[in-house]
């Protein structure tokens, strides 16, 4: 099918997936199309001030931190601001029960005290549109042929751009394969921890306040990029020097007002704004309930063990925080999709589109079967939606099963099952596992994993339709009068007989001597074969066919080149612009656009770990010792504020900038009333929650006494 519907006509006539005010995650190299709107919103910079490949610009200060967060360069010596939760692994890995930086905070008063981390910092060099090199070569191909051809072309283009070992080159697909861009970064691997507040500040409010407003969380940390003598990326060395950037952001203490211009640049992970109603219906009624159920079990099991032992608490803190964040996200997304009646809204738009097609004979001939084809595709795979969701949100979400066992199984599958496979091919396929294992086992507690896996086994047995379960999986529970006890006994045998759970020593020994036979005979690999392998052999092809068909149908809805629409987020650098703004929550609730330190004292409860306030912070706030960081109008210490910017996961740590490109805050969360925003953007209620940079500097100055950091910044008052 090479037929195309001009989506602009549908948007104009039927408001099909119509963008709302402040909606949009824009590609920085194309912001010229949005510049007039940005000026109307209050921007005072030029497009070249924001993105320029020949001269220093704002894009040179924006950093992809570890591929999952954003950071920004704020000094001429490579200093980075980001979120506390983005540096959580770095803080945790350097902590111990006797020297707990998570609990007590960390402040480096000179560069020799800064701590190493495993994070990397990728700085965008340039973006190239390669669409004209891809699309002409794939016309008329089947979906499978198309994917193979696209991969071959983009791999070749990426290799040509990797002119230095430290270059990181990625190719991203936009608009369901209607457009392709190549992104080239400089990747710095020597990134060190400079400062982090105590968790009582960095995580104030904990899971209770997560995704909620009003907020009083000091969600920040500070890191630094180091480079070789030539200022280029280099492996860690004590001889490395602080990186000298092309551009760094000045810090504004001038304050903010309602409706002030606000701009965010960062690396949003994934949105799904152009999905059909049937996709959202499945997410709302099948996928998310599985997600919530399984992640609830995982987090409750982890928390029970963490509460019993400070060492286990420290070891599992990072993984637990991540799981809880997404667990609550799934709850909120489901609730807001229902509240906003997103499925019903999309159904009405699709009905209007059907009518528009049916109104014209030519359109009917070309596109009359589009929705019938789509619905048949969904109907054909609907019986397997639950099993697919269990794999995605059950098996892959369990830390040990998802990170170690499923990764190994997936990497080694072809080498083990292909007639042309070999022991050498298997070892090569598993080449990344030592690195994965080294990172994983630092956050690992076998007794907790045993409990979690046993509980998930029972859930999977009861949730996977009986006629879809692998016979050998069903056999485990045959005749059992106590499913929990049966699962616990089975899991105990897995852990006793397998080599994969014996920390990095056991895993590495297994990998060094692995053969196809030893791989297939490992108890955990056998277990994964019962769950995921059975799905892959019997249902994966159906799922792939469904996804390919839906992608094809979506690609038929080509964007009008004369109208500017933004693509879904896909972890590439984006810009979003809007304003500082208050909002109305649910019925009869109005929220101000900022919070102050008074709210910290109002929430203070030292019997509750989520709302403890360190004594030093308490005393300073009680004395109103705000220094130069108090708001000039209210005379209060600002903590957090709201903007209308369009962000999602991956934007954590992104700089919030004013009309002059000066940093006013750090983005770290979204609000509860708009948790469906990755799918259905609610312009009236969608807000980004940001920690005010004045509160960040107050913590650095007053809590950490880190005057050295304050002196390093370019502060505008």
Q: What is the C-alpha separation between 248 and 256, in angstroms, rounded?
A: 21
Q: Which of 217, 264, 214 is nearest to 84 (CA)?
A: 217
* C-alpha gyration radius of the chain: 26
Burial 684-696 (b: 16+ CB within 10 A, else e): ebbbbbbbbbbbb
Q: What is the C-alpha separation between 333 and 338, in angstroms, rounded?
A: 9
Neighbouring C-alpha atoms within 13 Å toward the C-beta of 339 = 18
Task: For CA atoms 583, 672, 19, 644, give the dihedral sign.
Answer: positive
* Per-residue tokens: 319: 């993984």
Backbone angles phi, psi at 666, to 5 degrees: -125, 120
Please give the DSSP secondary-structure letter assigned to residue 567: P
Q: What is the C-alpha separation between 204 and 218, in angstroms, rounded?
A: 7
Angle between helix 406-417 and 433-440 (nearest 10): 160
3-state SS, residue 94: coil
Q: Which of 88, 172, 159 is nearest to 127 (CA)?
A: 172
Locate all alpha helices (DSSP H) within 95-191, ordered by sequence.
101-104, 131-134, 143-161
Q: What is the C-alpha separation between 333 and 679, in angstroms, rounded?
A: 9
Q: Alpha carbon 277 to chain centroid distance?
A: 24
* Per-residue tokens: 659: 């009309």
**Residue-by-residue DSSP string for 189-249:** -EEEEEEE--HHHHTTTHHHHTT-SS------EEEEEEE-TTSS-----TT-EE---S---
CA torsion angle for 383, 385, 389, 395 (degrees, to 10)?
40
Cβ–Cβ under 8 Å, residues 195 and 114: no
Q: Which residues are catalytic?
A: 85, 219, 652
Residues linked to residue 174 through DSSP beta bridges, in sequence order: 179
Q: What is the C-alpha separation between 435 and 168, in angstroms, rounded?
A: 18
């Amino acid at each position: 099918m090479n037929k195309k519907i001009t989506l602009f006509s549908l948007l104009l006539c039927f408001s099909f997936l119509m963008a709302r005010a402040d909606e949009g995650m824009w590609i920085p190299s194309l912001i010229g199309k949005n510049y007039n709107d940005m000026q109307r919103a209050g921007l005072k910079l030029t497009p070249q001030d924001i993105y320029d490949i020949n001269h220093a610009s704002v894009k040179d200060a924006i950093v992809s931190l570890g591929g999952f967060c954003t950071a920004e360069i704020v000094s001429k010596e490579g200093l980075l601001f980001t979120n506390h939760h983005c540096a959580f692994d770095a803080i945790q890995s350097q902590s111990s029960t006797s020297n707990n930086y998570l609990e007590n905070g960390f402040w480096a008063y000179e560069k020799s005290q800064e701590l190493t981390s495993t994070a990397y910092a990728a700085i965008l060099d340039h973006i190239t549109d390669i669409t004209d090199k891809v699309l002409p070569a794939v016309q008329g191909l089947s979906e499978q042929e198309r994917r193979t051809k696209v991969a071959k072309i983009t791999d070749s283009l990426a290799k040509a751009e990797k002119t230095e070992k430290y270059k990181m080159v990625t190719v991203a697909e936009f608009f369901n394969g209607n457009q392709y861009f190549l992104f080239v970064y400089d990747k710095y691997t020597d990134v060190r921890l400079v400062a982090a507040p105590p968790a009582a500040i960095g995580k104030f409010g904990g899971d209770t306040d997560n995704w909620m407003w009003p907020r009083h969380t000091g969600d920040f940390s500070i890191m630094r990029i180091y480079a070789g003598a030539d200022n280029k990326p280099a492996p860690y060395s004590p001889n490395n020097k602080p990186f000298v950037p092309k551009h760094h952001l000045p810090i504004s203490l001038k304050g903010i007002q309602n409706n002030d211009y606000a701009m965010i640049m960062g690396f949003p992970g994934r949105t799904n704004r152009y999905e059909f109603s049937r996709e959202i219906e499945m997410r709302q009624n099948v996928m998310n309930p599985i997600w919530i159920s399984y992640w609830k079990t995982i987090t409750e099991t982890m928390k029970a063990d963490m509460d019993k032992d400070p060492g286990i608490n420290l070891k599992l803190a990072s993984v637990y925080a991540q799981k809880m964040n997404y667990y609550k996200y799934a709850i909120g997304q489901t609730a807001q999709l229902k509240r906003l009646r997103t499925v019903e809204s999309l159904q009405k738009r699709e009905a209007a589109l059907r009518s528009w097609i049916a109104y014209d004979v030519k359109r009917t001939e070309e596109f009359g079967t589009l929705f019938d084809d789509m619905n048949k595709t969904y109907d054909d795979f609907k019986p397997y939606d639950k099993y697919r969701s269990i794999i995605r949100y059950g098996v892959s979400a369990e830390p040990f099963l998802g990170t170690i066992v499923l990764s190994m199984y997936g990497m080694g599958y072809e080498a083990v099952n292909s007639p042309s496979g070999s022991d050498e091919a298997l070892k090569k396929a598993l080449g990344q596992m030592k690195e994965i294992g080294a990172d994983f086992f630092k956050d690992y507690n076998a007794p907790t994993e045993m409990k979690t896996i046993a509980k998930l086994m029972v859930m999977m047995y009861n949730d996977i339709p009986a006629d879809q379960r692998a016979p050998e999986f069903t056999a485990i529970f045959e005749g059992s009068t106590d499913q929990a006890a049966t699962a616990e006994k089975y899991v105990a045998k897995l852990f006793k007989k397998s080599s994969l759970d014996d920390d990095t020593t056991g895993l590495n020994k297994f990998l060094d001597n692995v053969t196809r036979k030893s791989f297939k005979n490992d108890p955990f690999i056998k277990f994964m074969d019962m769950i995921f392998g059975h799905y892959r052999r019997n249902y994966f092809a159906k799922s792939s066919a469904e996804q390919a068909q839906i992608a094809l149908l979506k690609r038929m809805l080509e964007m009008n080149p004369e109208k500017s629409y933004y693509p879904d987020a896909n972890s590439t650098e984006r810009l979003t612009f809007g304003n500082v703004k208050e909002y109305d929550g649910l019925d009869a609730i109005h929220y101000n656009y900022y919070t102050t330190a008074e709210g910290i004292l109002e929430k203070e409860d030292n019997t509750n770990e989520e709302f403890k306030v360190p004594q030093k912070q308490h005393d300073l706030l009680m004395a109103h010792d705000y220094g130069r960081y108090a708001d000039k109008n209210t005379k209060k210490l600002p903590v957090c504020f709201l903007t209308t910017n369009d962000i999602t996961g991956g934007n954590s740590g992104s700089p919030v900038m004013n009309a002059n490109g000066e940093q006013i805050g750090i983005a770290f969360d979204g609000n509860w009333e708009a948790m469906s925003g990755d799918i259905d953007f609610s312009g009236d209620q969608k807000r980004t929650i940001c920690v005010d940079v004045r509160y960040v500097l107050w913590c650095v100055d007053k809590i950490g006494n880190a005057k050295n950091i304050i002196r390093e910044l370019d502060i505008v008052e």
